[in-house]
Amino acid sequence: MTHTQPSSLLCLGIESSCDETSLALVSDGTLLGHVLASQSDLHALFGGVVPELASREHLRFIGPLFDELLMRCDKPLEAISHVAVSRGPGLLGSLLVGVAFAKGLALGLGIPLLGVNHLHAHLLAAGLHSPLSYPALGLLVSGGHSSIYRLESPKRLQLLGRTLDDACGECFDKVGNHLGMSYPSGRLVDCAAQLGQKSIPFSLPYVHNDNLDFSFSGLKTAVISYIDEHLADLDYARPVREAQCLPQAILDLCASFNSVIAKTLVVKLERALDQNADCTSLILAGGVAANSMIRAELSRFAKRKRLPLIMPERDLCTDNGAMVAYAGWLLAREGYYHSLSMETIPRGRIIPDDILRKSTAPDSSV
């Protein structure tokens, strides 16, 4: 596959689909700079993301973050050649702040707009770490999704399997919440798991079938019931701030739970690979891809299959503007763009394939 690269392609990426406002600049496939304002402390007060508050916070942060990004990268406004934005899925009010900002810039600067699928951006961002080879098999595990994709090109991604109920990250967050950890608790469960022993034999959920879908709600219920039955009397300070302060029995529970999730992901990924044996690389992406045990388990699996496993750096696993800028850059260099009437797509609605292409661009998507 060959690509022609416009000489001065500088893509701004804007992410505001949930509770992180983040912007980044990518040029020549390289991340020039990245700024992020997280609202997690605010939403932790309510035990989850409050959509109205999230959109207000995006509105408050997006302008100053944009100025900060240009200053840090030492780039004038006019140097931006393309503006990419997460157009969905996500919270409608939150997405609209980013999309409106992107459309304003595209109109004001007379540059192309690119609406990026947030989930595709998570997967494609692995290419910032090391170039992707296609076809690739991608595992996306985040707070809202647990899915397996086949990637044919930056534009052609096929969904092979998804969660039927709770997402993987949601399961981490709910177990963590039950243990007295603040939202989002995946990172703290991860730290606790590293200090524990895998001593509780939870069953791998929804693997005795022949499909590529996930179901984590049964495991979540089993773990929460185990806590209530066996660990409810343990005395420790809540909210939990550090894994080191937790009793050994809780650390062991976290290790057992985390290990079951990691093994389940491998079972389904292996099945997907059996059905897509022509795939030349594996991708692990999404917020939960920052998880130590999952990274280690998938690395072992990739080694066994003799395939490269490409994972974004840990700080680029959770929502960020860099993944949007990079996905936008990949599409921009193939001549893709959206019209300014591009719709914003909230969670639950299918993102239309309405991207346009300059007729002069070479077709490198096949």
> Does 13 interact with ligand KG4 (rule: CB under 6 A)?
no
130-133 long-range contacts (CB < 8 A, ≥24 apart) are: 130/308, 130/310, 131/29, 132/281, 132/283, 132/310, 133/280, 133/281, 133/308
Alpha helix ranges (H) inside the chain: 40-44, 51-73, 92-109, 118-124, 168-178, 186-195, 217-226, 248-275, 292-305, 321-332
> Does 144 interact with ligand KG4 (rule: CB under 6 A)?
yes
What are the CA-CA distances from residue 24 to residues 34, 94, 285 (Å)? 4, 18, 18
What is the number of the residue whose Cβ is closest to ligand KG4? 287
- Residue 83, SS3? strand
> Does 290 interact with ligand KG4 (rule: CB under 6 A)?
yes
Q: What angle do CA 5, 82, 112 make, to 5 degrees?
A: 105
Binding mask 259-288 for ligand KG4 (x = CB under 6 A): ---------------------------xxx
For residues 81 and 147, which CB has a smaller minimum distance to ligand KG4 in the complex? Answer: 147
Sequence-separated (6 or more) residues with CB below 8 Å from residue 221: none
The residue from 27, 39, 94, 142 that contacts Zn ion (CB under 5 A) is: 142
Alpha helix ranges (H) inside 184-280: 186-195, 217-226, 248-275
Closest CB 362 distance from ligand KG4, rounded Å? 33
> Does 88 interact with ligand KG4 (rule: CB under 6 A)?
no
Residues numbered 300-329 forming contacts with Zn ion, rule: CB under 5 A? 319
For residues 21 and 318, which CB has a smaller minimum distance to ligand KG4 in the complex? Answer: 318
Residues numbered 302-341 forming contacts with ligand KG4, rule: CB under 6 A? 318-319
The residue from 186, 196, 312, 321 that contacts ligand KG4 (CB under 6 A) is: 186
> Does 57 interact with ligand KG4 (rule: CB under 6 A)?
no
For residues 31 and 167, which CB has a smaller minimum distance to Zn ion in the complex? Answer: 167
* DSSP letter, residue 289: G
Applying CB under 5 A, which residues contact Zn ion? 142, 319
Applying CB under 6 A, which residues contact ligand KG4? 18, 142-144, 169, 172-173, 184-187, 190, 286-288, 290-291, 318-319
